[in-house]
Amino acid sequence: MSRDLLPGATGVLALADGTILQGIGVGAVGEAVGEVCFNTAMTGYQEILTDPSYMAQIVAFTFPHVGNVGTNVEDIEQMSGAAETAARGAIFRDIPTRPANWRADTDLDTWMSRRGVVGLAGVDTRALTRKIRETGMPHGVIAHSPTGLFDLDALVERARAWNGLVGLDLAKEATCLQPFTYEEGLWSWGDGYAKPPTDPKYDVVVIDYGVKRNILRALSSVGARITVVPADTSAESILARNPDGVLLSNGPGDPAATGAYAVPEIRKIVDSGTPVFGICLGHQMLSLALGAQTVKMDQGHHGANHPVKDLTTGKVEIVSMNHGFTVDRETLPEPVVETHVSLFDGTNAGIALKDRPVFSVQHHPEASPGPTDSLYLFERFAQNMDAAKA
């Protein structure tokens, strides 16, 4: 395709509808295809770009100034460390700034390049955000070439040919390969990440669909000894460990696709009477296991400033969210009750069983780097485990 690019343009975003955005390429040189979403968080870009829930997505940051705190080796959220199990690309209003933070060990541009994350800067992210809000999250290809030479026709065709997230099981790529014990607590100023409890109160099995490190840290902070197991682990193997509770983690992809093998095992765990706590993808698959349905969202929820109401307490909390599928509340059966609701669009944000110690939420209560309004949910899980022991 012969289109004139602006002088000095070294990066483009080609959308399936033929739209071309151009700017300055940053990060890795190359191409990446994915679903384009926007994130409204003002902080935490390293955590966002390493969140496995963003696998097969290209993240456009609505906050214009990104990069000032740099990056470090401590704040990577994904367990695998492989760049392909997190965000595929990033879009910025301004070119990422140089770091000015005592914890930084490298700048964002270099870090993205090392990880293979393709970036694009200097575009009108407000216009892109409005487009997504009006027409939904498009399929796109982000490309970076220092020469400024692009086959735009081929990029658009690649975006059109991509099948998208519906029906895509990505948890199998993001999960661990074998069980392991996780030993690290929450970060605190001056001390860094805490050591695991020396006398743990609970043994918890975490089913890894793409778990974030800070979920594990928050779980450790309530006194849990943590064993992480792969996504396809059988209920029999999990229950043989005699856990006090089971956590269903966050993760990427279509919950119905991952649920093809995960949902039957979740049902068995629920039927055993073991306390269960689900987060994000874990919430969606728990809902499927209990008889509800999930649907694809047009824009999804991506940010750290989402208001959610806890219907059990009447309190409103500001939470971190990252999901493109949602639980259809109209399909929630008895004895499931809705416990949380998004105050942005009224979608479901949490459920619980009336007769068993089982609950889940759509948002990320560990919220690294914040907000921390929902950390109480880990205490609620601990209370359920205490009650089950008694």
Catalytic center residues: 280, 364, 366
CA distances from 262 to 67, 171, 216, 282, 284 (A): 38, 10, 20, 10, 11
Residue ranges of the alpha helices (H) in the chain?
45-49, 108-115, 125-135, 152-161, 171-174, 213-221, 235-239, 255-271, 281-289, 376-389
Strands 202-208 and 224-230 come out as: parallel
Residue ranges of the alpha helices (H) in 79-151?
108-115, 125-135
Task: Report residue 316 as tokens.
Answer: 């409103």
Residues recorded for the chain: 390
210 and 251 in contact (C-beta within 8 Å)? Answer: yes
Cα torsion angle, 269, 225, 85, 165, sign = positive
210 and 114 in contact (C-beta within 8 Å)? Answer: no
Dist CA 63 CA 307 (whole Å):
18
Dist CA 34 CA 140 (whole Å):
6
Dist CA 120 CA 125 (whole Å):
11
Task: Report residue 196 as tokens.
Answer: 């695991």
Q: What are phi and psi of 159, to 5 degrees?
A: -65, -40
Task: Report residue 57 as tokens.
Answer: 């997505």
10 Å Cβ neighbour count for 141? 29
Q: Which of 252, 257, 249 is nearest to 302 (CA)?
A: 252
